[in-house]
Structure 1
Amino acid sequence: MSKSRFIELMAKSMGKTANAEELAELDMFLEQFPDYKKTYQVTNALKGNGAELAETKPEEVNSNLEEIWNRIKSSNKNTANDAKVKPMFRWQWVAAAVLLLVAAGALFYKKTEQQDSLTAENILHEIRVPYGKTEKLKLPDGTQVTLNAGSTFSYPEAFEKNSRDVSLTGEGFFEVTKNAKKPFLVHTAKLVVKVLGTVFNVKAYNNDKTVETTLLKGKVQVELKNNPEKRIILLPNEKLIVVNNREPKSAKPKESKIEYQVTELPDVKPDEVKETAWVDNRILFTNEAFEDVAVQIERKYNVQVVFENQKLRTEQISGLLDKESLQEALGIIELTTPFKFRIEGQTVYLSKKEK
């Protein structure tokens, strides 16, 4: 066997491109030289032992290949017609290719090692709920979450640190599994809600006028992103309302603007709490601006509401929408509010009713 053939087979073996006949040729050749066993560790590294590749420097590989070949050549002085065999590769090129493969092997080993070191906490799941639908899911710790239409929610494959962190844009109803050692944190654009085990609702749509946290059971702590030192404690049946500043940066700041307030929920039955009515696919509204109710209608029925008469936006309306169709729901509101509507595809047009 010629030097070029030996290097060719070594490179192919290491690069996983050798066919069965070539591997058999290399194995038979190595078996003929027991003395080569002392340097066989380098061969094993070249064949893909990642740990050794990572520790083997290119110059060491080059030196060992030279040593391997010289020892084989000296043990096989009688090999005939060696000089007559036309080399398939120049020795310098093959050496460079071998070194390149070694570097690639080391890189692959390190990359694999990094992938193995990834914990389940680094794997994030993202849930996007379209308009017209809600979605329920169970988190790795057993916490139950219901997501409203138009929401985006992300959580890790497993909670492995000292806290259970999730992110929400939109609205979510949480029934958190109690774990005093791992607080549950809901991150939104405006605030962070911290709990140990409780039942609460967070409404944090980017385009809504306010961001709301409603507590039904237990106790939560809310931290405002723009004022992290301010921590607000909520007790059962309390709601935190935070102003969602949607004004452009160029707008002039208003004087003495209220940033947030805490209010108590009305003393009603659990199924009559309007802040969580959406969980049962209902819309409950009492003396609310028509434009705010319209936003809920858009999410529930997957439509766009257009006010052709702007005064309708501020009309105060009350009612309950449950299993009605879109047309039936608008008909119910129409009974107490002077307006008319027309539906064209996925768009609802509202106009003032003429007397």
Structure 2
Amino acid sequence: MGKTASAEELAELDVFLEQFPNYKKTYQVTNALKGNDPEPAEVKPEDINGNLEEIWNRIKSSNENTVNEVKVRPMFRWQWVAAAVLIFIAAGALFYKKTAQQDSLTAENILHEIHVPYGKTQKLKLPDGTQVTLNAGSTFSYPEAFEKNTRDVSLTGEGFFEVTKNAKKPFLVHTARLVVKVLGTVFNVKAFNNDKTVETTLLKGKVQVELKNNPEKKIILLPNEKLIVINNREPKSIKPKEGKIEYQVTELPDVKPDEVKETAWVDNRILFTNEMFEDVAAQIERKYNVQVVFEDQALRSEQISGLLDKETLKEALGIIELTTPFKFRVDGQTVYLSKKEK
């Protein structure tokens, strides 16, 4: 149990603070740390360390010049008062600094993780005001607050971003294959682990893309450009074949904003033009929360075109069936596709 200072000792402390006014402000900080002073003055630990050495020198000098025994005792007690005050102040200031650092680290380290199930999409607003729409089957994480010099988020799946401008804090989207760096813009990132490619589509502004396996290579995208990166799903021990094209930048067709197929999913639509059936099937799985099974593997490479909007699953498959020779059957949450007999 701690000892409570007597009235005599508190009186000596007041005399001490009057003799050394430089420490009066510092002492006020300790009261603030205990909740006694609503408006503390700012005191840095390094200032306390310097003041500690100064006060001991002054006390030592006073003792060396003292001859009378009667005067030695009060000064001896002042040493203890000075030591107690400074130790308490130093500990309090360091505790205050540590607590402030912990509060800052806590905000940055608390991560929100969003899992979007098949059959749904989700919209959210980030701490900086950035708007994000997540596609079905996506996982997205972001911190409680953007305290660092960059605004870092992580994505597995597909997201449509409308980033709030902040030139001092670039916005970084981390995926398994690449990192997209922006200051403020509108773009789409498609990075599902099982897809053959990872795509970044820019609608407004400017972005810089860095490949994880080649960080020195900076790819700059301009509006209406799309970066397509081969999603190497082979084991890391197997190196890609030499000469194989790793990525390419293409220009989007000159169409109306609501006819851009890369972002049609934001409005819960699937727009496809001469795409492989297996790629469209992956979109159907996410939109309708089903599993598509190709009983005839040749159907995977069939090229199909169309637009699926508010149709039910069977209506959507019926639309594709009009132009593609296949038949289907639905068993619960599984769709079986087979070749139609001539």
Is residue 258 of structure 1 aligned with residue 251 of structure 2? no
User: 1:163 Cα deviation (Å)?
Assistant: 1.2
Structure 1 position 254, deviation (Å)? 2.4
- Alignment partner of 2:117 out of 130, 142, 150: 130
Q: Distance in 2 between matches of 1:117 and 1:267?
A: 46
CA distance in 1, matches of 2:104, 2:253: 51
2:226–2:250 contact (8 Å) kept in structure 1: yes
* Maintained 8 Å contact 2:228/2:247: yes
Unpaired runs of at least 5, structure 2: 11-32, 35-94
1:164 aligns with 2:151: yes
Counterpart CA distance in 2 for 1:239 and 1:199 is 13
Partner of 2:304: 317
Larger gyration radius, structure 1 or structure 2: 1
1:224 counterpart = 2:211: yes
Deviation at 1:251, TM superposition (A): 4.8
* Distance change (3 Å), C-alpha of 1:332 and 1:135: same
Residue pair 2:104, 2:147 contacting (<8 A) in 1 also: no
Match of 2:265 among 257, 272, 278: 278
Please give the root-mean-square deviation of Cα atoms over the aligned residues, in Å. Answer: 2.6
Which residue in the other structure is 2:139 paired with?
152
- Partner AA of 1:224 in structure 2: L
Aligned residues: 260
- Alignment correspondent of 1:236: 223
Structure 1 residues 184 and 309, CA, compared in 2 at 3 Å: closer, same or farther? same
Instruction: Report the Cα distance in structure 2 between the residues aligned to 1:253 and 1:177, rounded to whole angstroms.
Output: 37
In the alignment, residue 134 of structure 2 is paired with which amino acid? L
Identical-residue share of aligned pairs (%)? 88
User: Aligned partner of 1:277: which letter?
Assistant: A
1:255 deviation in Å? 3.5
Q: CA deviation at 1:250?
A: 5.5
Match of 2:278 among 282, 286, 291: 291
Change (3 A) 1:278 1:115: same
Which structure 1 residue ranges, 5 or more long, are not aligned?
1-9, 15-29, 39-50, 53-108
Instruction: Look up the match of 2:172.
Output: 185
CA apart distance, 1:153: 0.5
Matched residue type, 2:317 = L
Structure 2 distance, partners of 1:340, 1:252, is 39
Alpha-carbon spacing, 1:222–1:344, altered in 2? closer, same or farther (3 Å):
same
- Change beyond 3 A, Cα 1:285–1:223: same
Deviating beyond 6 angstroms after TM superposition, the runs of 4 or more aligned structure 1 residues are none
Tell me the SS of whatever aligns to 2:117: coil
- 1:1-355 alignment runs, 5 A limit: 113=99, 116=103, 118-249=105-236, 251=238, 253-355=240-342
Q: 1:116 offset after TM fit, Å?
A: 4.2
Question: Does the 8 A contact of 2:308 with 2:316 survive in 1?
Answer: yes
How big is the shift at 1:350?
0.2
Tell me the CA shift for residue 247 of structure 1: 1.9
Q: Go from structure 1 to structure 2 and tell me whether the alpha carbon gap of 1:253 and 1:201 turns closer, same or farther (over 3 Å shift).
A: closer
TM-score where L is the length of structure 2: 0.71
CA shift at 1:123, angstroms? 1.1
| Residues 230, 252 of structure 1: alpha-carbon distance in 2 compared, 3 angstrom cutoff | closer
